[in-house]
Amino acid sequence: MASDERLLSMLRRMIEIRGFEDEVQRLFTKNLVRGSTHLCNGQEACAVGACFALREGDSMLCTYRGHGAVLAMGAPLDGTFAEILGRESGLCRGKGGSMHLTDVGVGAYGSFAIVGAHLPIATGLAFAAKHTGSGAVSLCFFGDGSTNIGAFHEALNLAGIWKLPVLFFCENNLYGEYSPIATTTPVERLASRADSYGMPGVRVDGNDVVAVHTAVSEAAARARAGEGPTLIEAMTYRHRGHSRTDPGKYRPAGELAEWLAKDPITRLEALLAENGVAPEAIAQARADADKAVEAALERALAAPEPGLALIEEDVYA
């Protein structure tokens, strides 16, 4: 298990992500965010547990519900806020927005708005790592709905054939947009689909940051040793609806309350307390996270919008 100091760092990052998402929701209601937003409240242990298992030089790709994953990789809070607000100081100069967060400097190779489009790209990054002998691994987050599209099967098939160092991480939050998984998928255990492609399939408690970190660390070690990819299915739950104003009324009565009781942040705080970490240290981690989010948002709101001179920058055709 990670040290208590490392767990406190994970706790702070998880609280930062939760606070970030809460602020994004408020910004959206104030009409300060163009386009849609998809928040990861409740899924912070997946992002932090997995990304904290990586090392410098590794790559990460994620979905449009990827604010948390990009922040977990170390992208700056202010630059991420600024991107969602469409400001020039954003990660992509304010031209990508909520669903296209990218910070190659920390290994975050992009959020992808097209469902599953990034799985082949993650496989390509893993091919490059193997070809160059860099020892890097590629981590790819995707939702349960992505396991039913062609890109999922093609990416896993190729990765399995070539034993590529890619970690396929399925955040199974029980719903593909508004559809319960049982209505769209004939198998209950998505990790079992790994058998078809000659790789291990692991299911973990996605609200337990230690379990996630352990599973991804083990899979990364296998990948770096040349033993190929792993499919990890993390069982988790989004506290909010699919996007922006979705109230989530399609969820059965009591389901949200059941998952709120398994909040990953509360669970990590409880674990730290059991380990004998002083309450003051836990409270300080929360206070530091809240302060960082508040200060980052102020800087982002003060940043200018991109001028017309930037309209042709980074355009290749």
Q: Is 124 among the domain residues?
A: yes
The pLDDT mean for the chain works out to 95
Distance from C-alpha of 215 to C-alpha of 51, rounded to nearest angstrom: 12
> Is pLDDT above 90 for 222?
yes
Distance from C-alpha of 32 to C-alpha of 56, rounded to nearest angstrom: 34
DSSP 8-state assignment for residue 147: G
Mean pLDDT over 60-68 rounds to 97
Write out the residue range of the structural domain in which residue 187 sits.
4-305
Q: Which two tokens stand for residue 4?
A: 């208590």
> What's the residue count for the chain?
317
Distance from C-alpha of 37 to C-alpha of 242, rounded to nearest angstrom: 9
Give the count of domains, the chain. Answer: 1
- Could you read off the pLDDT of 93-139 as tens digits, one per residue? 999 999 999 999 999 999 999 999 999 999 999 999 999 999 999 99
Q: Which two tokens stand for residue 212?
A: 């996630």
CATH code assigned at 282: 3.40.50.970
Q: Is 311 among the domain residues?
A: no
pLDDT at residue 67, rounded to an integer: 97
Q: Is 93 among the domain residues?
A: yes
Alpha helices in 111-149 (DSSP H): 118-132
How does strand 179-180 pair with strand 175-176?
antiparallel
Q: Is 214 among the domain residues?
A: yes
Give the position of tokens 């299911």: 203
Q: Nearest to residue 40, comparing CAs of 54, 51, 30?
A: 51
> Is pLDDT above 90 for 45?
yes
pLDDT at residue 74, rounded to an integer: 98
> Is pLDDT above 90 for 316?
no
Q: Is 200 among the domain residues?
A: yes
Q: What is the pTM of this model?
A: 0.95
> Is pLDDT above 90 for 243?
no
Amino acid at 204: V
Q: Is 235 among the domain residues?
A: yes
Across 78-165, the runs of DSSP E, i.e. the strands, are 108-112, 138-143
Q: Is 314 among the domain residues?
A: no
pLDDT at residue 256, rounded to an integer: 87
- Give SS3 for 296: helix
Helices (H) and strands (E) in the chain, counts: 10, 8
Q: What is the CA radius of gyration of the chain?
A: 19
How does strand 166-172 pair with strand 230-235?
parallel
pLDDT at residue 248, rounded to an integer: 81
Amino acid at 237: Y
Q: Nearest to residue 38, comparing CAs of 65, 11, 63?
A: 65
Amino acid at 62: C
Q: Which two tokens stand for residue 20?
A: 């970030």
Q: Is 312 among the domain residues?
A: no
Q: Which two tokens stand for residue 100?
A: 């296209």
- Could you read off the pLDDT of 253-309 as tens digits, one per residue? 998 899 999 999 999 999 999 999 999 999 999 999 999 999 999 999 999 998 888
- Half-sphere exposure in the Cβ direction for 112 (13 Å, CA): 18
Distance from C-alpha of 76 to C-alpha of 19, rounded to nearest angstrom: 14
Cα separation values, 7 from 45, 208, 282, 300, Å: 11, 12, 10, 28
